[in-house]
Each structure stands twice: as structure tokens, then as C-alpha cells.
Structure 1
Amino acid sequence: MLLKKNIKVGKNKFIFYIINFLISFSFCYADDLETKYTNIKILDKISSKNVLIKLTNQRDHIYKDLSIKSMKCQNSKFDDNPETTAYIQVKDLTDKNNDNVFVFNGWMFSSSPSIAPFDHPVYDIWLVSCY
């Protein structure tokens, strides 16, 4: 007589473990804390002066010849040294095609600003914090 193994119990256990793994895996990732304000520093290379500017997300801010808009700013949650990232758009108002072209359009990182550098002959911008 052939013995049949009860594999239904094994399938149910396997599905149960997979579901538990997926649920616990989704909780272990660090959530990003989205904020309303972005602090950036602007260096005027001609006068060698630093200015700290508080930007409200989703609003344009005019600083001399630049139009700066912070689309999103977030802090990572579960780090000893939390990373601050912001999506920033910058237009040069002296440029004739300023409606079409961004001088900078991308993510900035506070811990390593050289990953996505802001390249402008007069100004230098870097991310300080989000709150």
C-alpha cells in the first residue's frame, strides 16, 4: 500500500510564513518623514557671503537672480545620522528662456552635496535641513 503525504498542511504553513515575512519586511524599512519647510544655504561667489533661506515646499522663492522651488523635503527616520533629501528646482531669471529650462532640477542630499551638484557661475546652493 502506498502512503500519501499530507502536503496540504505544508502548503498552508508555507503560505503563512510567506505572508508573515512580507508583512514584517514592510515594517522594517525606514519611513521618510515629509516636512513642510526646507532650509538651504546660498553662497554668493562674487561677494563671498552665505545666506540661510527658509523655503516653503511647493512655493517659489526669489533670491536675487534665482527662482528656487522646493518640491519635497524629507528626513529619514531610523538612522543614527539621519539623511535629509530635497527635490529642488532652480531657474535663472536672467536667462531669456527661464520658463523652459531649469538651472537645477533634481534631488539634493545634505550629507553629500557633490552627488547632485548645483552648477552656476555666481551662486552655490546646498541643502541644510528639513522641518
Structure 2
Amino acid sequence: MKRLLLLALMLAPVPLAAQDMASAPGGTLRFLDKVTGRVQDLSLSRGQSVALGRLTVQLDECRFPRDNPAADAQAHVTVVDTTATRPMFTGWMLASSPALSAMDHPRYDIWVLSCDSGFVAPEVTEPEEDPDAPLEEINEG
């Protein structure tokens, strides 16, 4: 009996700590026309939609890990084909795993790249050098 209980505990799934997610005011999606090879990045605000060929793409929500804004984006997207009566895709797309919840269309492909987290990387400045200072020598050893 003890062995059975121990085996059950070992096989039980370990709960993972939930990431604290933040909602972004917008995000960036990538659009690919497989026939023409045209690639376009779409910066959309939450709730905004754009018409691309026969498709209308709407960004419903975009979330990112609060403690790491440059990390994995998660976007809820709705895609409507103008020739159809209902959305051809509605669901969450993950930047780290685009094939996990992909839109199935013979001509077009859309996936999420990032969320607009408001994170601004600090500017990188070149160190000021004294033009009259001697150059450092490289010693070959």
C-alpha cells in the first residue's frame, strides 16, 4: 500500500508557479502572404483591426510576463475572412511557440512577435575618448 501511495505521489503533476502577467496596450504581429512572399509587421493597439487582402486581423489582448517585459508575448487574435460568415481563427497565440496555436489558412500566416510593454531599453552611448591619448598596445603571448 505504501509503495502504491509513493508511486502515485511521484507520478502526480507538480504544479508550476504561475507567472504574473501584465496586459499591454498593444502588440506586434507578423503577416505572411505565402503566395507572394510578402512579409509585414503589424503594430496594433488592443481592439484595433487591419484589413490585409481578404483577411481582417484584430488584436484583442496582449500579455507579457511582468518581471521580464522582453520575454514571451501572448496575444489573443481574431481573424475574419471576408468570404466567410464567422471568424476563421480566434484564440491565443504564443510568441515562443507559434505552431502551438496556429492559424490554418492555405495562403496567409499570422503570428505574434511581441507586446508593447512600454519597456524602453536604455540608450547605449559610446565612451568618450581623448583623441590625444595613446592607443593601448595589444600584447601577443
TM-score by length of 2: 0.65
Which of the numbers 45, 48, 52 marks the counterpart of 1:63? 52
Q: CA separation in 2, counterparts of 1:35 and 1:56?
A: 9
Number of residue pairs aligned between Structure 1 and Structure 2: 100
**Runs of 4+ displaced beyond 4 Å:** none
Is the 2:61–2:76 Cα contact (8 Å) retained in structure 1?
yes
SS at match of 1:71: strand
Question: Could you say which structure has the higher strand fraction?
Answer: 1
Q: Is the alpha carbon distance of 1:119 and 1:78 closer, same or farther for their aligned partners in structure 2, counting shifts above 3 Å?
A: same
Q: CA separation in 2, counterparts of 1:79 and 1:40?
A: 19
Specify every segment of 5 or more residues in structure 1 that has no aligned partner in the other structure, as ranges: 1-27
For 2:75, the equivalent position in structure 1 comes to: 86
Which of the numbers 85, 94, 105 marks the counterpart of 1:120? 105
Q: CA separation in 2, counterparts of 1:74 and 1:87?
A: 9
Matches within 5 A, 1:43-58: 43-58=32-47
Within the alignment, does 1:110 sit opposite 2:76 as a pair? Answer: no
- Give the counterpart letter for 1:38 in structure 2: G
SS at match of 1:41: strand
Within the alignment, does 1:36 sit opposite 2:25 as a pair? Answer: yes
TM-score by length of 1: 0.69
Percent identity over the alignment?
27
For 2:119, the equivalent position in structure 1 comes to: none
Is the 2:72–2:114 Cα contact (8 Å) retained in structure 1?
no
- The alpha-carbon deviation at position 123 of structure 1 amounts to 0.3
SS at match of 1:74: strand
- Give the counterpart letter for 2:100 in structure 1: I
- Give the counterpart letter for 1:82 in structure 2: A
Q: CA separation in 1, counterparts of 2:47 and 2:69?
A: 29
